[in-house]
Structure 1
Amino acid sequence: MINYDFSLSWKKKIPDGIEQLFRIMKLTSLLLLAVCLHLSAETRSQTVSLNVKNQPIKNVFQAIEKQTNLTVIFNDRLVNRSAPVSIHVHNMSLTEALETLLKPVSLTYQITENTIVITKRATSPPPETLRAPVPQQQRVISGQVTDNQGEFLQGVTVSIQGTAVATTTDEAGRYQLTLPANSTTLIFSLVGYERVEHALTETENTVNISMIPAISDLDEVVVVAYGTQKKISVTGAIASIQTKEIKQSPAANLAVTLAGRLPGLTALQRSGEPGRDYTALFLRGMGTLNATAPIILVDGVEREMTYIDPNEVESVSILKDASSTALFGVRGANGVILVTTKRGSSGKPAIGLTYEQGLQGFTRSPSVLTAYEWASLRNQAWANDNPNVDPNDPVNQPPYSEYALDRFLYQDYPEAYPNTNWQKLLFNDWVSQQRYNLNITGGGDYVQYFVNVGFLDQGGQWKISPDVTEYDPSGFLKRYNFRSNIDAKLNKSGTLSTFLNAAGYFEQVNSPNADTEEIFRRTYSFFPVVLPGPLSPDGEVLIGPGNYNVSPWALINRSGYRRETRNNITASWGLKQDLDRLTEGLSAKFMASFDTRTVYSLTASKEYQRWIQVIDPNTPNHLGMDSVEYRRMFLELENTPLSIGSGSNFQSFFNFQLSADYQRTFNEKHTVTGMLLAQQEV
C-alpha cells in the first residue's frame, strides 16, 4: 500500500479548489496501483507452448518473446556456455515453463514489468562427501646430464611437458625437480644439442640423460669435385639437395626433379613424351658458345643422370663458380653437377618398399571453338574484308549461309555439317604413371651394402583407336633399374678398403610412327568444320582439301609404330689405402670404371588409302538434305601390311683414376686439404 501525506506549515484554511485537487490525486494513485497489480498478475498467468529439440537457448527466448510480448534480457557470457536445450510444453504457465527451461542449465529468472531478466542460479556448497580429495604428496625427481663423450653439461633446461615447471643443470650436470600431479614427460634442451624427451614411469625417481650434439649447416659435409669438404670451409658457390627433396617430385626424369630446387640451375624440358623427355641443364646461363651443358659426375665418373632412379640418390650438388670448378679446367666453364648415390651402413638389414602413383597431362591446351562459332567468325571476317557488298548480290555472299549456320548450331545433319573436336578426339587429358621400388641396406663391421631395384611405367597422351589390334602404336615407357653399392674393409685396421658399384637400366620406349611435332601441328590446324570424323562410313581414312590432306588421326593409328629397346650397364671398382705411416691424413685411391650402352631400334611402317568427302548442296538425298559422297584420292597408295626395319647402336667407355689425397686438422682449428689426380678416359 502506498500512503501519500501532505503537511502544510501555515494554519490558514485550504481553499475548496485545492482540497478537491488533492482528492483527485489520491484517487488517481489508487487506480494506478490497482492497474499495476492487475498487469503483474496477468503477466505471470500467461501460458506458452514450446516444442524445441537440441537448439540454442537463445532460440527459446525468442519464441517466448513472440508468445508473451515480453522482453527477455540476459548476459551472453551466461547463455553461450550452456549446452543446447530441449523443451516440450503445451499451454503451460510462463513461470513453470521458465523454471523447467532454466533449472537444468543452472539459470533462474525475474519478471519485472514487461521484461524477464535471466541470471545465474545460486549454487549451494557441495556435500562433504563430494569435496575434492586432498592431493597426494608430490614426487621429486633428480639426475645428471652428460654429452656423448661423458662430459657434464651445465645449463641444460629440464622442463615438464605441458607445464611451466622447469630448472637448469649445475656445473656437474645435476638437476632436481618437483613433479606436479599427472606429469608424464621430461624435456631436456640445450643450444647445440639434440632435444631429448623422456617418458616417466610411476616408480622412476632418477633420470640420467646423455645428449647428442646437433649437426649444424656449417658442419654439413658437401661433395666437392672428387672429394668432400665441410660446408663451413667452402668458399666457392656450391648448392646441394638431399634425397628427401629429390623424391618429392614424381617425375620420370631425374633432371626434371632438380628444376626450381637448386639456385642457379635452369632445367629446360623440350618434351614430355615418354622416353624422349630430354632436359637441357644450364648453370648460371651459358658459359660457352658450343658445348653449353655442365659436366655431370655420378659417384666420381662422368655419366648421364637422366635414367637414374631418384630412390638411389643420396644427394645432388652443383658447382657454379670458377673456384669450385677449377679442378676441371676449361671443361668446367659451364659448371659441374655431382650426383652421389646411397651406400650401405653397419647394422641390421633395412628393407624399404615404395609405390608411387601419379597423373600427368599437358601443362596447357588451347581452347577450341565449336563449328557454329568458327563459321560465324569466318562470316564476320569476310564481312570485314568486303564492307560494301550488296546483300542481294548472288555471287558475293558469305562463306556460310544462314541455312549452314543453323545446321552447325543444331547438329541435325553432322555428316555434312560436322562439329569435330580434334583435340578431344586424339589426346588424353590425363594418363597414369606408376613407380615401384625395393631397396635393402645394411652390413657389418667389414662389409656394407646397398641394393635397389625399381620399375617405372609411364603412359602416353595419344588416344589409340580400339580398331587397331595388329600392333600397338601407343606411347609408353617401361623402365627397370637396379643398383648395388658394396663397401668392404680388407684388413682389421681398415686402412685398406675396396668398393664395387654396379648399376644399370633396361627400358622400352614406344610411340606412333610419326613425328610428335607434326601430329600437334596437324591437329591444331584442323578446324571443327573440316571433316565429320577421321573415317568414312566404310572405315577408310578421310582427308580434307589443300592443307588438310594429312590426317592427324591416321598419323597416330594408321602409320605403324616405333620402338626402342635401350639398356645400360655401369660398373666401378676402387681400392683405397691410408698412408698414415708416411704422414697423418694421407691416402691413395685407384678406381676403374666401365660403361656400356646398347640401343636397338625397330620401325614398323605402313600405308593407307586416303578418301575425301564431297558435299553437293544442289542435289538432295533421300532425306531432302545435301547429298554426300566419298571419293578416293592418291590411287597409288593402298592399305599395306607393316613393313619392318631395325637398327642398333653399341657404345662403351672406360675411365681410370689415380689420386693422392691429404686431409689433416691441426689443434682442432686449422684444416689443410690437397689432392693430386690423374685421369684417363677411353
Structure 2
Amino acid sequence: MPEPQAKATAGQIMASGTVEDSSGEPLIGASVMVAGTSMGSTTDFDGNFSIKVPSGSKLLISYVGYKPIEVAAGEHLRVVLTEDSEVLDEVVVVGYGTQKKTTLTGAVGGVKGDEVLKSPVANIQQSLTGRIPGLATTVTSGEPGADDVTFWLRGAGTVNGTAPLILVDGVPRDNMRVIDPREVESISVLKDASATAVFGVRGANGVILITTKRGKKGKLEVSASFEYSIQEIAHREKTLDSYTFALLKNEGLRNDGIVSTDSRYYSEADLAAYQSWLTGDPTDPVGHPNTNWMDVLFRDYAPQTRANVVLNGGSESTQYFVSAGYTYQGGMFNVPSKDKVGYNANTNLNRYNFRSNVDHQISKYLKASLDISSYIEKVNKPARSGDNIYPWAYVLRPTTPGPVTPEDNPYPFEYNGQLSEMAPGMLVVDENGRNDPSAYGNLTRTGYEKQTRAGVNVIGNLILDLSFITPGLSTRGLVSFESKANTYQFAAKDYAAYYLDRTQEDYVWKLADVNKPEDGELSPARAHSQAILSTFSGI
C-alpha cells in the first residue's frame, strides 16, 4: 500500500491516479517516480497511487515486463502501460536449448555479450560481478594471469566444492578466464534445481552456459576495436614519514618501561636529521632517510590493452564468424629495467585468442557446424611469489635506506675488517631485520618465472531437423576435442644484501649474510605438461 501523503503545500500538488494494463486490469506494485529524483511510491492492490510532488513535475511509471511511460503530474490520472514484447520474447539459453522469458519457470539469470564488454577487465569472469542476482564472486589476487574468480551460486550446494559447471557452446570447460569477451553472444546462469535438472549431479552448484557468436547472412562485415585502460591499486594506505615513525618508536619503548639509554632509542641527533626532511632540505639523506616503501615497490598505475578484429558474413547456405583478439595486462610492481637486472622482473600477461565458427546448411533438413577456438597465454612474474610484497610494504620502516645504495653514498663498506668504497646500486635491507628476506630483493633479484599456456578446442555439430515428423522435433550429435599444454620456465638466483650499521659513531655498510658476498648466477629450469580431452554426445 502506498504510504499516506500529507496535504500538499505551496508549490506542491497531490498527484493521484490508477495504473492499468491494456485490458484494464490494475497493476499492483507499479513504480511511480518523480522524473529526475529519488522521490516515488508504488500502486496498491487496486492499482491506485497518491504522491505529493512539486508543481510542474513529470511522473515516470514503470512495471516489470511493460514499457515505462512518462506523464505530467496531475489528479485522477489513468495510466495504461503496454507490454514490452522485446523483453518478454527475449530468448534465454537453458540446458540443451532455448526458451522465451514468458515461458521460463526456473531460476535463470543472464547477461548479453554487449554488457560483458562494458567491463574493461582482462578476465571475463570478473565482468560478471554484480550483474547476475544470486551469483557471488571472490577474487583473491589481482596479479596478471593469476586472477581467477571463485563463483558461488546461492551458496555452496555440495561439500566437495562450490564451482559451478561451465559449458561453452555445450561443451564442459574447466575455466572461462581465457575467453575473449568479443566472442561471447550471451551468458546464462542456471541457479535452481528445476533449471539444472538436465545436468544431474554435475549441476549441483549451478551451471554457467556461454554461447559464442555465429555468422549472419549477408555481405562480409569487418570490424575492429582497440581499448586502452589504466589499472591502479584499489586501496593504498598512507605510510608514516621517518620523523613521525621515530617519535612513535621512542614513545612505544618508553611505554614498555625500557630505559632511555637503550640502543633501540632514536637519539636527539637522529630525530633532528629525520625532521630535516620536513623542511625539504635533509641533512643526511643516506644515513637518515625518509623511504616510502609503497612508492618504492609499486607503480601508481599499470596499462592494459585489448584489441580485436572480427569478420562476419555468409551466404544462404554458409555463414561464418571469425575473431582474432589480443590482451595485454601490465604489472603494478616498480622494478628496474631489463637492461639492469638481465630479465623482466615484473608481472605481465600477453594473451592471443582466435575463433572460427562456421555453419553450413547441407540440405533442407540437415545442418552442420564446425567451431575452432584457440588461445596462447604468456605470463611473466618474479621467481618468488609476489603475494607477500604488499603486506611487506607496510612493515618496512621508513628509516631504512634503500632499496639500493645511492650514487652519492658517503659511507664506506667494511668486509673482513677492511674498509673500501661502497659500490652504488647494491641491495639494501633493514639493519635490525637483516636475516629476514628483502621485499625488493625478492621482487627484483631472485630470478623470474615464465609460463606459457595454450589450448585448442574443436566442436563439430550435426543437426537433423525432424519437423516433417512433428513440428519442433530435432536431434543433434556433437563431437568435441580439446588439447591444453602448459610450459614453465624458471630461472632462480641468490642475491647479496647489505645493511647500514649505525651502532657506531662512524656509519659503515656491512654484508647482511657473509656467506653471500655477491649475487649468484641464474639457474634455468624447464617443465612441460599436456592434457587431451574428448567429448561425444547426442541430443
Q: Fold-level match, TM-score > 0.5?
A: yes
Q: Residues 578 and 397 of structure 1: is their aligned pair in 2 closer, same or farther, counting only changes over 3 Å?
A: closer
Establish whether residue 650 from structure 1 lines up as the match of residue 519 from structure 2. Answer: no
RMSD: 2.0
Q: What residue identity is the alignment partner of 2:511?
A: R
Q: Alignment partner for residue 457 of structure 1, among 300, 311, 328?
A: 328
**Structure with the higher fraction of residues in helix conformation:** 1
Query: How far did residue 487 of structure 1 move?
Result: 0.6
Q: Alignment partner for residue 461 of structure 2, among 566, 570, 574?
A: 574
Matches within 5 A, 1:199-218: 215-218=85-88
Partner of 1:594: 481
Establish whether residue 265 from structure 1 lines up as the match of residue 127 from structure 2. Answer: no
Q: Structure 1: which 5+ residue stretches go unaligned?
A: 1-190, 194-212, 619-626, 660-682
Query: How far did residue 457 of structure 1 move?
Result: 1.1
Alignment partners' CA distance in 2, 1:631 and 1:382:
27
Partner of 1:640: 520
Q: Residues 585 and 398 of structure 1: is their aligned pair in 2 closer, same or farther, counting only changes over 3 Å?
A: closer
Matches within 5 A, 1:327-342: 327-342=198-213
Partner of 2:271: 405
Q: Residues 532 and 244 of structure 1: is their aligned pair in 2 closer, same or farther, counting only changes over 3 Å?
A: closer
Matches within 5 A, 1:47-196: none
Query: How far did residue 385 of structure 1 move?
Result: 2.7
Q: Are the equivalent residues in 1 in contact too, given 2:402–2:427 (CA < 8 A)?
A: no
Structure with the bigger RCO (C-alpha within 8 Å, sep 6+) is 2
Alignment partners' CA distance in 2, 1:228 and 1:645:
50
Partner of 1:198: none
Matches within 5 A, 1:205-354: 215-303=85-173, 304-354=175-225
Alignment partners' CA distance in 1, 2:183 and 2:121:
14
Establish whether residue 481 from structure 1 lines up as the match of residue 353 from structure 2. Answer: yes
Q: What residue identity is the alignment partner of 2:132?
A: L
Q: What residue identity is the alignment partner of 2:509?
A: Y
Alignment partners' CA distance in 1, 2:297 and 2:97:
51
Comparing 440-449 with 458-467, which one deviates more in the overlay?
458-467
Q: Residues 395 and 224 of structure 1: is their aligned pair in 2 closer, same or farther, counting only changes over 3 Å?
A: same
SS in 2 for 1:580: coil
Partner of 2:32: none
Q: Alignment partner for residue 542 of structure 1, among 428, 441, 446?
A: 428
Q: Residues 489 and 192 of structure 1: is their aligned pair in 2 closer, same or farther, counting only changes over 3 Å?
A: farther
Alignment partners' CA distance in 1, 2:135 and 2:336:
41
Query: How far did residue 429 of structure 1 move?
Result: 1.2
Alignment partners' CA distance in 2, 1:263 and 1:507:
31
Q: What residue identity is the alignment partner of 2:285?
A: P
Alignment partners' CA distance in 1, 2:445 and 2:343:
10
Query: How far did residue 579 of structure 1 move?
Result: 1.6
> What do the CA deviations read for 1:411-462 (whole angstroms, capped 9, x no partner)?
2112221111111011011011111100011111100110000011110011
Q: Are the equivalent residues in 1 in contact too, given 2:403–2:427 (CA < 8 A)?
A: no
Q: Residues 489 and 612 of structure 1: is their aligned pair in 2 closer, same or farther, counting only changes over 3 Å?
A: same
Partner of 1:86: none
Q: Are the equivalent residues in 1 in contact too, given 2:331–2:347 (CA < 8 A)?
A: yes
Alignment partners' CA distance in 2, 1:532 and 1:297:
50
SS in 1 for 2:380: strand
Alignment partners' CA distance in 2, 1:331 and 1:523:
43
Q: Residues 331 and 598 of structure 1: is their aligned pair in 2 closer, same or farther, counting only changes over 3 Å?
A: same
Partner of 2:412: none
Establish whether residue 375 from structure 1 lines up as the match of residue 246 from structure 2. Answer: yes
Alignment partners' CA distance in 2, 1:394 and 1:317:
68
Q: What residue identity is the alignment partner of 2:530?
A: F
Query: How far did residue 214 of structure 1 move?
Result: 7.3
Q: Are the equivalent residues in 1 in contact too, given 2:489–2:525 (CA < 8 A)?
A: yes
Partner of 2:371: 501
Alignment partners' CA distance in 1, 2:197 and 2:348:
42
Query: How far did residue 238 of structure 1 move?
Result: 0.6
Q: What residue identity is the alignment partner of 1:275?
A: G
SS in 2 for 1:478: strand
Establish whether residue 558 from structure 1 lines up as the match of residue 445 from structure 2. Answer: yes
Q: Are the equivalent residues in 2 in contact too, given 1:522–1:550 (CA < 8 A)?
A: no
Query: How far did residue 377 of structure 1 move?
Result: 1.1
Alignment partners' CA distance in 2, 1:582 and 1:642:
71
Q: Are the equivalent residues in 2 in contact too, given 1:274–1:509 (CA < 8 A)?
A: yes
Alignment partners' CA distance in 2, 1:450 and 1:594:
20
- Give the TM-score, by structure 2 length: 0.77
Alignment partners' CA distance in 1, 2:532 and 2:326:
24
Q: Are the equivalent residues in 2 in contact too, given 1:359–1:430 (CA < 8 A)?
A: yes
Number of corresponding residues: 435
Q: Are the equivalent residues in 1 in contact too, given 2:341–2:444 (CA < 8 A)?
A: no
Establish whether residue 439 from structure 1 lines up as the match of residue 310 from structure 2. Answer: yes
Q: What residue identity is the alignment partner of 1:418?
A: P
- Give the TM-score, by structure 1 length: 0.62
SS in 2 for 1:318: strand
Q: What residue identity is the alignment partner of 1:365?
A: R
Query: How far did residue 588 of structure 1 move?
Result: 1.1
Alignment partners' CA distance in 2, 1:633 and 1:240:
57
> What do the CA deviations read for 1:577-598 (whole angstroms, capped 9, x no partner)?
1123333322111000011100
Q: Structure 2: which 5+ residue stretches go unaligned?
A: 1-64, 68-82, 277-281, 407-421
Q: What residue identity is the alignment partner of 1:650?
A: Q
Query: How far did residue 640 of structure 1 move?
Result: 1.9
Matched residues, percent identical? 37
If you compute each CA radius of gyration, which structure gives the higher value, 1 or 2?
1
Partner of 2:495: 608
SS in 2 for 1:445: coil
Alignment partners' CA distance in 2, 1:394 and 1:571:
74
Q: Are the equivalent residues in 2 in contact too, given 1:255–1:305 (CA < 8 A)?
A: yes
SS in 2 for 1:535: coil
Alignment partners' CA distance in 2, 1:609 and 1:580:
76
Alignment partners' CA distance in 2, 1:441 and 1:543:
58
